[in-house]
Amino acid sequence: MTKKVLMTLLEQKKYKSIHEVLSVYNPVDLAELLETLDAQNLAVVFRMIEKEKAAEVFAYMDNDQRQQLIDIFSMEETAELLDAMSADDAVDFLEDMPANVVTHLLEHIDWDTRSAINRLLQYPEDSAGSMMTVEFIELHRNMTVRQALDLIRKIGIDSETVYTCYVVERHKLEGIVTAKDLMIHDDTVTIAQLMTDQFICVHTTDDQEFVANQFRKYGLIAIPVVDSEGCIVGIVTFDDAIDVLTEETTEDMHKMAAMTSANEESYLKTSVFRHAKNRIVWLMILMFSATITGTIITRYEEAFATIPLLVSFIPMLMDTGGNCGSQSSTLIIRGLAVGELRFSDTLKIVWKEFRVAMLVSIALAAANGVRIFIMYHSAQMAIVIAASLILTVVVAKMVGCLLPIAAKKCRLDPAIMASPLITTIVDTCSIVIYFRIATIIFAL
Protein backbone atom coordinates (compact mmCIF):
# COMPACT_ATOMS: atom_id res chain seq x y z
CA MET A 1 0.00 0.00 0.00
CA THR A 2 1.44 3.36 -0.97
CA LYS A 3 0.82 6.61 0.87
CA LYS A 4 -1.56 7.69 -1.90
CA VAL A 5 -3.76 4.60 -1.57
CA LEU A 6 -3.77 4.94 2.21
CA MET A 7 -4.76 8.63 2.05
CA THR A 8 -7.61 7.90 -0.38
CA LEU A 9 -8.95 5.13 1.85
CA LEU A 10 -8.70 7.47 4.83
CA GLU A 11 -10.65 10.20 3.05
CA GLN A 12 -13.32 7.68 2.09
CA LYS A 13 -13.36 6.49 5.72
CA LYS A 14 -12.85 2.88 4.58
CA TYR A 15 -11.45 1.97 8.00
CA LYS A 16 -12.25 -1.71 7.78
CA SER A 17 -10.22 -2.16 4.59
CA ILE A 18 -7.34 -0.17 6.05
CA HIS A 19 -7.40 -2.33 9.16
CA GLU A 20 -7.32 -5.49 7.05
CA VAL A 21 -4.50 -4.32 4.83
CA LEU A 22 -2.49 -3.19 7.86
CA SER A 23 -2.89 -6.58 9.51
CA VAL A 24 -0.90 -8.35 6.76
CA TYR A 25 1.90 -5.76 6.86
CA ASN A 26 5.27 -6.47 8.41
CA PRO A 27 5.87 -4.13 11.41
CA VAL A 28 9.08 -2.75 9.85
CA ASP A 29 7.35 -1.86 6.59
CA LEU A 30 4.39 -0.46 8.51
CA ALA A 31 6.69 1.90 10.44
CA GLU A 32 8.17 2.99 7.10
CA LEU A 33 4.69 3.66 5.66
CA LEU A 34 3.61 5.63 8.73
CA GLU A 35 6.69 7.85 8.39
CA THR A 36 5.07 9.54 5.40
CA LEU A 37 1.96 10.65 7.34
CA ASP A 38 1.31 13.87 9.27
CA ALA A 39 0.60 13.76 13.02
CA GLN A 40 -3.21 13.57 12.82
CA ASN A 41 -3.38 10.83 10.17
CA LEU A 42 -0.55 9.04 11.93
CA ALA A 43 -2.59 8.78 15.13
CA VAL A 44 -5.73 7.70 13.23
CA VAL A 45 -3.91 4.92 11.35
CA PHE A 46 -1.81 3.88 14.33
CA ARG A 47 -4.94 3.32 16.43
CA MET A 48 -6.21 0.94 13.75
CA ILE A 49 -3.27 -1.44 14.18
CA GLU A 50 -3.89 -4.28 16.61
CA LYS A 51 -2.31 -3.73 20.03
CA GLU A 52 0.54 -6.29 19.95
CA LYS A 53 1.67 -5.26 16.49
CA ALA A 54 1.27 -1.55 17.29
CA ALA A 55 3.80 -1.92 20.09
CA GLU A 56 6.27 -3.48 17.66
CA VAL A 57 5.66 -0.81 15.01
CA PHE A 58 6.17 1.86 17.67
CA ALA A 59 9.59 0.38 18.48
CA TYR A 60 10.63 0.74 14.81
CA MET A 61 9.41 4.35 14.46
CA ASP A 62 11.79 7.28 14.84
CA ASN A 63 11.81 9.66 17.79
CA ASP A 64 10.04 12.58 16.12
CA GLN A 65 7.09 10.45 15.18
CA ARG A 66 6.88 8.76 18.55
CA GLN A 67 6.81 12.20 20.11
CA GLN A 68 3.97 13.22 17.79
CA LEU A 69 1.94 10.19 18.84
CA ILE A 70 2.61 10.68 22.54
CA ASP A 71 1.50 14.31 22.26
CA ILE A 72 -1.85 13.19 20.85
CA PHE A 73 -2.30 10.11 23.05
CA SER A 74 -3.69 10.20 26.57
CA MET A 75 -1.36 9.12 29.37
CA GLU A 76 -3.34 5.88 29.74
CA GLU A 77 -3.06 5.14 26.03
CA THR A 78 0.71 5.65 26.09
CA ALA A 79 1.08 3.54 29.22
CA GLU A 80 -0.90 0.75 27.58
CA LEU A 81 1.42 0.92 24.58
CA LEU A 82 4.49 0.75 26.80
CA ASP A 83 2.99 -2.24 28.59
CA ALA A 84 2.66 -4.09 25.30
CA MET A 85 6.24 -3.32 24.27
CA SER A 86 9.14 -5.53 25.28
CA ALA A 87 11.01 -3.96 28.20
CA ASP A 88 14.18 -3.21 26.21
CA ASP A 89 12.27 -1.44 23.44
CA ALA A 90 10.37 0.56 26.08
CA VAL A 91 13.67 1.58 27.66
CA ASP A 92 15.13 2.64 24.30
CA PHE A 93 12.13 4.92 23.89
CA LEU A 94 12.11 6.26 27.45
CA GLU A 95 15.83 7.07 27.34
CA ASP A 96 15.08 9.76 24.76
CA MET A 97 12.17 11.31 26.71
CA PRO A 98 12.39 14.13 29.31
CA ALA A 99 12.76 12.79 32.87
CA ASN A 100 9.44 14.20 34.13
CA VAL A 101 7.48 12.55 31.29
CA VAL A 102 9.19 9.24 32.09
CA THR A 103 8.28 9.44 35.78
CA HIS A 104 4.71 10.34 34.90
CA LEU A 105 4.41 7.51 32.37
CA LEU A 106 5.89 4.90 34.69
CA GLU A 107 3.20 5.71 37.27
CA HIS A 108 0.57 4.57 34.81
CA ILE A 109 1.94 1.17 33.89
CA ASP A 110 1.86 -2.30 35.39
CA TRP A 111 4.04 -2.98 38.39
CA ASP A 112 5.78 -5.84 36.56
CA THR A 113 6.67 -3.79 33.51
CA ARG A 114 7.58 -0.80 35.64
CA SER A 115 10.08 -2.68 37.76
CA ALA A 116 11.62 -4.31 34.68
CA ILE A 117 11.98 -0.91 33.00
CA ASN A 118 13.34 0.71 36.14
CA ARG A 119 15.97 -1.97 36.47
CA LEU A 120 17.07 -1.57 32.83
CA LEU A 121 17.18 2.23 33.15
CA GLN A 122 19.82 1.86 35.88
CA TYR A 123 22.46 0.35 33.60
CA PRO A 124 24.85 2.75 31.90
CA GLU A 125 23.93 3.54 28.28
CA ASP A 126 25.90 1.41 25.79
CA SER A 127 26.30 -1.41 28.36
CA ALA A 128 25.09 -4.99 27.99
CA GLY A 129 22.57 -4.21 30.75
CA SER A 130 20.94 -1.45 28.75
CA MET A 131 20.66 -3.49 25.52
CA MET A 132 19.35 -6.70 27.06
CA THR A 133 15.75 -7.86 27.32
CA VAL A 134 14.47 -9.27 30.60
CA GLU A 135 12.17 -11.75 28.87
CA PHE A 136 13.72 -15.20 28.61
CA ILE A 137 12.84 -18.80 29.32
CA GLU A 138 14.10 -19.99 32.69
CA LEU A 139 14.26 -23.79 33.13
CA HIS A 140 15.41 -26.06 35.94
CA ARG A 141 17.60 -29.16 35.81
CA ASN A 142 14.88 -31.56 36.93
CA MET A 143 12.23 -30.38 34.46
CA THR A 144 11.31 -32.65 31.54
CA VAL A 145 11.13 -31.61 27.90
CA ARG A 146 7.33 -31.70 28.20
CA GLN A 147 7.37 -29.31 31.16
CA ALA A 148 9.80 -27.01 29.35
CA LEU A 149 7.57 -26.88 26.27
CA ASP A 150 4.53 -26.22 28.46
CA LEU A 151 6.35 -23.33 30.07
CA ILE A 152 7.29 -21.84 26.70
CA ARG A 153 3.66 -22.22 25.59
CA LYS A 154 2.47 -20.42 28.73
CA ILE A 155 4.96 -17.55 28.64
CA GLY A 156 4.83 -17.24 24.86
CA ILE A 157 7.27 -14.39 24.34
CA ASP A 158 9.00 -13.19 21.16
CA SER A 159 10.28 -16.06 19.08
CA GLU A 160 13.95 -15.04 18.94
CA THR A 161 13.99 -15.12 22.74
CA VAL A 162 12.78 -18.72 23.12
CA TYR A 163 15.37 -20.42 20.92
CA THR A 164 17.88 -20.63 23.72
CA CYS A 165 16.55 -21.53 27.17
CA TYR A 166 18.50 -20.96 30.36
CA VAL A 167 18.91 -23.50 33.12
CA VAL A 168 18.90 -21.64 36.40
CA GLU A 169 19.42 -22.80 39.98
CA ARG A 170 18.89 -20.17 42.71
CA HIS A 171 19.12 -17.40 40.06
CA LYS A 172 22.58 -18.67 39.06
CA LEU A 173 22.99 -19.55 35.38
CA GLU A 174 24.10 -23.19 35.20
CA GLY A 175 23.68 -24.07 31.56
CA ILE A 176 21.75 -23.62 28.35
CA VAL A 177 19.38 -25.77 26.26
CA THR A 178 18.54 -24.97 22.65
CA ALA A 179 15.01 -25.07 21.30
CA LYS A 180 16.26 -27.58 18.77
CA ASP A 181 17.17 -29.97 21.59
CA LEU A 182 13.68 -29.59 23.03
CA MET A 183 12.12 -30.22 19.63
CA ILE A 184 14.00 -33.37 18.79
CA HIS A 185 13.92 -35.14 22.17
CA ASP A 186 11.20 -37.15 23.84
CA ASP A 187 8.86 -35.52 26.31
CA THR A 188 10.28 -37.45 29.24
CA VAL A 189 13.95 -36.54 28.82
CA THR A 190 15.12 -34.20 31.59
CA ILE A 191 16.74 -30.82 31.07
CA ALA A 192 19.78 -32.01 33.04
CA GLN A 193 20.41 -34.58 30.30
CA LEU A 194 20.14 -32.02 27.49
CA MET A 195 21.83 -28.95 28.92
CA THR A 196 25.39 -27.90 28.27
CA ASP A 197 27.43 -25.93 30.76
CA GLN A 198 29.72 -24.69 27.99
CA PHE A 199 28.23 -21.36 27.00
CA ILE A 200 29.25 -17.80 26.22
CA CYS A 201 27.89 -15.11 28.56
CA VAL A 202 28.50 -11.42 29.14
CA HIS A 203 28.30 -9.16 32.20
CA THR A 204 25.82 -6.35 32.71
CA THR A 205 28.60 -3.75 32.62
CA ASP A 206 30.30 -5.05 29.45
CA ASP A 207 30.39 -2.51 26.62
CA GLN A 208 27.77 -3.03 23.92
CA GLU A 209 30.49 -3.18 21.24
CA PHE A 210 32.13 -6.08 23.07
CA VAL A 211 28.76 -7.85 23.32
CA ALA A 212 28.10 -7.35 19.60
CA ASN A 213 31.57 -8.68 18.80
CA GLN A 214 30.78 -11.88 20.74
CA PHE A 215 27.80 -12.41 18.41
CA ARG A 216 30.02 -11.76 15.42
CA LYS A 217 32.64 -14.21 16.69
CA TYR A 218 30.43 -17.08 17.80
CA GLY A 219 27.37 -16.62 15.55
CA LEU A 220 24.89 -16.94 18.42
CA ILE A 221 21.15 -16.21 18.45
CA ALA A 222 21.19 -14.92 22.03
CA ILE A 223 23.71 -14.35 24.82
CA PRO A 224 22.77 -14.45 28.52
CA VAL A 225 23.72 -11.44 30.65
CA VAL A 226 24.83 -12.17 34.22
CA ASP A 227 25.54 -9.86 37.16
CA SER A 228 28.63 -9.88 39.33
CA GLU A 229 27.33 -12.91 41.24
CA GLY A 230 26.69 -15.03 38.16
CA CYS A 231 22.91 -14.57 38.35
CA ILE A 232 21.15 -14.25 35.01
CA VAL A 233 19.38 -10.90 34.67
CA GLY A 234 18.53 -10.85 30.98
CA ILE A 235 19.55 -11.84 27.47
CA VAL A 236 20.73 -9.98 24.38
CA THR A 237 19.37 -11.20 21.04
CA PHE A 238 21.19 -11.18 17.68
CA ASP A 239 18.91 -8.55 16.11
CA ASP A 240 19.91 -6.00 18.76
CA ALA A 241 23.52 -7.01 18.22
CA ILE A 242 23.21 -6.27 14.48
CA ASP A 243 21.76 -2.84 15.33
CA VAL A 244 24.67 -2.13 17.67
CA LEU A 245 27.23 -3.25 15.09
CA THR A 246 25.65 -0.91 12.53
CA GLU A 247 25.45 1.99 14.97
CA GLU A 248 29.00 1.57 16.23
CA THR A 249 30.38 1.32 12.70
CA THR A 250 28.49 4.42 11.56
CA GLU A 251 29.73 6.28 14.63
CA ASP A 252 33.31 5.19 13.89
CA MET A 253 33.04 6.28 10.26
CA HIS A 254 31.66 9.68 11.26
CA LYS A 255 34.41 10.17 13.82
CA MET A 256 36.99 9.10 11.25
CA ALA A 257 35.71 11.87 8.98
CA ALA A 258 35.99 14.48 11.77
CA MET A 259 32.34 14.56 12.79
CA THR A 260 30.70 14.15 16.16
CA SER A 261 27.51 12.17 15.88
CA ALA A 262 25.61 12.37 19.12
CA ASN A 263 22.28 11.16 17.82
CA GLU A 264 21.18 8.07 15.94
CA GLU A 265 18.86 9.87 13.54
CA SER A 266 19.28 9.29 9.83
CA TYR A 267 21.02 11.74 7.50
CA LEU A 268 17.84 13.16 6.00
CA LYS A 269 16.07 13.53 9.34
CA THR A 270 18.93 15.39 11.00
CA SER A 271 18.40 19.16 10.79
CA VAL A 272 20.81 21.44 8.93
CA PHE A 273 21.79 23.09 12.22
CA ARG A 274 22.58 19.79 13.87
CA HIS A 275 24.59 18.69 10.82
CA ALA A 276 26.55 21.95 10.97
CA LYS A 277 27.06 21.58 14.72
CA ASN A 278 28.34 17.99 14.31
CA ARG A 279 30.89 19.15 11.76
CA ILE A 280 32.08 22.59 12.84
CA VAL A 281 33.98 21.62 16.01
CA TRP A 282 36.58 19.43 14.34
CA LEU A 283 36.78 21.70 11.29
CA MET A 284 37.69 24.64 13.54
CA ILE A 285 40.27 22.63 15.49
CA LEU A 286 41.84 21.24 12.33
CA MET A 287 41.75 24.59 10.51
CA PHE A 288 43.68 26.30 13.29
CA SER A 289 46.08 23.36 13.61
CA ALA A 290 46.79 23.62 9.88
CA THR A 291 47.91 27.22 10.33
CA ILE A 292 50.91 25.79 12.22
CA THR A 293 52.04 24.21 8.97
CA GLY A 294 51.51 27.61 7.32
CA THR A 295 53.61 29.33 9.93
CA ILE A 296 56.43 26.86 9.35
CA ILE A 297 56.28 27.54 5.61
CA THR A 298 56.78 31.28 6.21
CA ARG A 299 60.09 30.44 7.87
CA TYR A 300 61.32 29.19 4.49
CA GLU A 301 60.16 32.28 2.53
CA GLU A 302 63.70 32.78 1.29
CA ALA A 303 63.93 29.26 0.00
CA PHE A 304 60.90 29.49 -2.26
CA ALA A 305 61.71 33.08 -3.18
CA THR A 306 64.98 31.70 -4.60
CA ILE A 307 63.47 28.50 -6.10
CA PRO A 308 59.72 29.13 -6.68
CA LEU A 309 59.32 25.61 -8.09
CA LEU A 310 59.63 24.28 -4.52
CA VAL A 311 56.12 25.53 -3.73
CA SER A 312 54.53 23.50 -6.50
CA PHE A 313 55.45 20.19 -4.81
CA ILE A 314 53.81 21.08 -1.50
CA PRO A 315 50.32 19.74 -2.37
CA MET A 316 51.71 16.45 -3.71
CA LEU A 317 53.85 15.86 -0.62
CA MET A 318 51.11 16.83 1.82
CA ASP A 319 48.48 14.70 0.09
CA THR A 320 50.70 11.65 -0.22
CA GLY A 321 51.69 11.90 3.46
CA GLY A 322 48.06 12.29 4.46
CA ASN A 323 46.94 9.35 2.33
CA CYS A 324 49.67 7.06 3.68
CA GLY A 325 48.78 8.02 7.23
CA SER A 326 45.05 7.42 6.71
CA GLN A 327 45.69 4.01 5.19
CA SER A 328 47.58 2.89 8.29
CA SER A 329 45.21 4.48 10.78
CA THR A 330 42.14 3.03 9.04
CA LEU A 331 43.59 -0.50 9.09
CA ILE A 332 44.42 -0.21 12.78
CA ILE A 333 41.16 1.46 13.83
CA ARG A 334 39.09 -1.20 12.07
CA GLY A 335 41.28 -3.99 13.40
CA LEU A 336 40.83 -2.71 16.95
CA ALA A 337 37.06 -2.27 16.48
CA VAL A 338 36.42 -5.84 15.32
CA GLY A 339 38.71 -7.15 18.06
CA GLU A 340 41.28 -8.50 15.61
CA LEU A 341 44.14 -6.31 16.88
CA ARG A 342 45.15 -5.77 20.50
CA PHE A 343 47.54 -3.52 22.38
CA SER A 344 49.92 -6.46 22.71
CA ASP A 345 50.30 -6.50 18.90
CA THR A 346 51.87 -3.01 18.88
CA LEU A 347 55.41 -4.13 18.08
CA LYS A 348 54.24 -6.47 15.31
CA ILE A 349 52.13 -3.67 13.81
CA VAL A 350 54.93 -1.09 13.92
CA TRP A 351 57.40 -3.48 12.32
CA LYS A 352 54.90 -4.42 9.60
CA GLU A 353 53.99 -0.80 8.88
CA PHE A 354 57.66 0.16 8.75
CA ARG A 355 58.40 -2.45 6.11
CA VAL A 356 55.28 -1.56 4.12
CA ALA A 357 56.29 2.12 4.34
CA MET A 358 59.75 1.32 2.97
CA LEU A 359 58.35 -0.63 0.00
CA VAL A 360 55.67 1.91 -0.80
CA SER A 361 57.84 4.99 -0.34
CA ILE A 362 60.66 3.68 -2.50
CA ALA A 363 58.19 2.97 -5.31
CA LEU A 364 56.62 6.42 -5.00
CA ALA A 365 60.01 8.15 -4.73
CA ALA A 366 61.38 6.32 -7.77
CA ALA A 367 58.32 7.11 -9.92
CA ASN A 368 58.23 10.76 -8.95
CA GLY A 369 62.00 11.22 -8.98
CA VAL A 370 62.23 9.97 -12.55
CA ARG A 371 59.28 12.15 -13.59
CA ILE A 372 60.88 15.27 -12.09
CA PHE A 373 64.27 14.54 -13.58
CA ILE A 374 62.71 14.15 -17.03
CA MET A 375 60.44 17.21 -16.72
CA TYR A 376 62.78 19.66 -15.03
CA HIS A 377 66.23 18.19 -15.84
CA SER A 378 67.24 18.75 -12.24
CA ALA A 379 68.86 15.84 -10.43
CA GLN A 380 68.94 17.92 -7.27
CA MET A 381 65.19 18.53 -7.34
CA ALA A 382 64.57 14.84 -8.06
CA ILE A 383 66.67 13.87 -5.05
CA VAL A 384 64.95 16.41 -2.77
CA ILE A 385 61.50 15.11 -3.71
CA ALA A 386 62.47 11.43 -3.56
CA ALA A 387 64.13 11.79 -0.16
CA SER A 388 61.24 13.89 1.20
CA LEU A 389 58.73 11.32 -0.03
CA ILE A 390 60.53 8.41 1.64
CA LEU A 391 60.84 10.18 4.98
CA THR A 392 57.29 11.58 4.85
CA VAL A 393 55.74 8.19 4.07
CA VAL A 394 57.64 6.47 6.88
CA VAL A 395 56.67 9.17 9.38
CA ALA A 396 53.05 9.14 8.14
CA LYS A 397 52.72 5.37 8.51
CA MET A 398 54.27 5.40 11.96
CA VAL A 399 52.01 8.22 13.17
CA GLY A 400 49.04 6.57 11.46
CA CYS A 401 49.49 3.23 13.20
CA LEU A 402 50.67 4.44 16.61
CA LEU A 403 48.08 7.11 17.40
CA PRO A 404 45.00 4.83 17.27
CA ILE A 405 46.77 2.27 19.48
CA ALA A 406 47.78 5.01 21.93
CA ALA A 407 44.20 6.30 21.98
CA LYS A 408 42.89 2.82 22.75
CA LYS A 409 45.42 2.46 25.57
CA CYS A 410 44.26 5.81 27.03
CA ARG A 411 40.64 4.62 26.81
CA LEU A 412 39.85 7.13 24.08
CA ASP A 413 38.04 6.09 20.92
CA PRO A 414 40.72 5.13 18.35
CA ALA A 415 38.39 6.41 15.60
CA ILE A 416 39.25 10.05 16.36
CA MET A 417 42.86 9.30 15.36
CA ALA A 418 41.86 9.03 11.72
CA SER A 419 42.50 10.71 8.41
CA PRO A 420 41.80 14.37 9.32
CA LEU A 421 43.89 14.54 12.49
CA ILE A 422 46.65 12.35 11.06
CA THR A 423 46.71 14.51 7.90
CA THR A 424 47.16 17.69 9.90
CA ILE A 425 49.99 16.18 11.95
CA VAL A 426 51.66 14.61 8.94
CA ASP A 427 51.37 17.90 6.98
CA THR A 428 53.55 19.67 9.49
CA CYS A 429 56.08 16.86 9.48
CA SER A 430 56.22 16.68 5.69
CA ILE A 431 56.75 20.43 5.30
CA VAL A 432 59.57 20.41 7.84
CA ILE A 433 61.19 17.37 6.21
CA TYR A 434 60.82 18.85 2.73
CA PHE A 435 62.29 22.26 3.41
CA ARG A 436 65.06 20.85 5.59
CA ILE A 437 66.17 18.54 2.82
CA ALA A 438 65.76 21.26 0.19
CA THR A 439 67.83 23.69 2.25
CA ILE A 440 70.62 21.12 2.53
CA ILE A 441 70.65 19.88 -1.07
CA PHE A 442 70.31 23.32 -2.65
CA ALA A 443 72.61 24.81 0.02
CA LEU A 444 70.11 27.62 0.65
Binding to its own copies (CB under 8 A): which residues in 248-277? 249-250, 253-254, 256-259, 266-268, 272-273, 275-276
184 contacts its own copies (rule: CB under 8 A)? yes
Measured from the CB of residue 301, what is the shortest distance to its own copies in angstroms? 5
Judged by CB, which is closer to its own copies: 106, or 396?
396
379 contacts its own copies (rule: CB under 8 A)? no
Measured from the CB of residue 120, what is the shortest distance to its own copies in angstroms? 19
Q: Alpha carbon of 75 to those of 11, 79, 101, 197: distances in Å?
A: 28, 6, 10, 45
Choice from 100, 170, 183, 443 touching its own copies (CB under 8 A): 183
Burial class (CB in 10 A: 0-12, 13-18, 19+), 100: exposed
Measured from the CB of residue 340, what is the shortest distance to its own copies in angstroms? 5
Choice from 5, 200, 412, 440 touching its own copies (CB under 8 A): 200
22 contacts its own copies (rule: CB under 8 A)? no
100 contacts its own copies (rule: CB under 8 A)? no
Judged by CB, which is closer to its own copies: 106, or 427?
427
Range in contact with its own copies (rule: CB under 8 A) among 5-13, 81-89, 124-132, 313-321: 313-321
384 contacts its own copies (rule: CB under 8 A)? no
163 contacts its own copies (rule: CB under 8 A)? yes
Judged by CB, which is closer to its own copies: 59, or 106?
59
Judged by CB, which is closer to its own copies: 118, or 190?
190
149 contacts its own copies (rule: CB under 8 A)? yes
Applying the rule CB under 8 A, the residues between 333 and 352 that interact with its own copies are 334-335, 338, 340-341, 345, 348-349, 352
437 contacts its own copies (rule: CB under 8 A)? no
Range in contact with its own copies (rule: CB under 8 A) among 1-9, 41-49, 122-130, 331-339: 331-339
323 contacts its own copies (rule: CB under 8 A)? yes
370 contacts its own copies (rule: CB under 8 A)? no
Applying the rule CB under 8 A, the residues between 397 and 436 that interact with its own copies are 419-420, 423-424, 427, 431
131 contacts its own copies (rule: CB under 8 A)? no
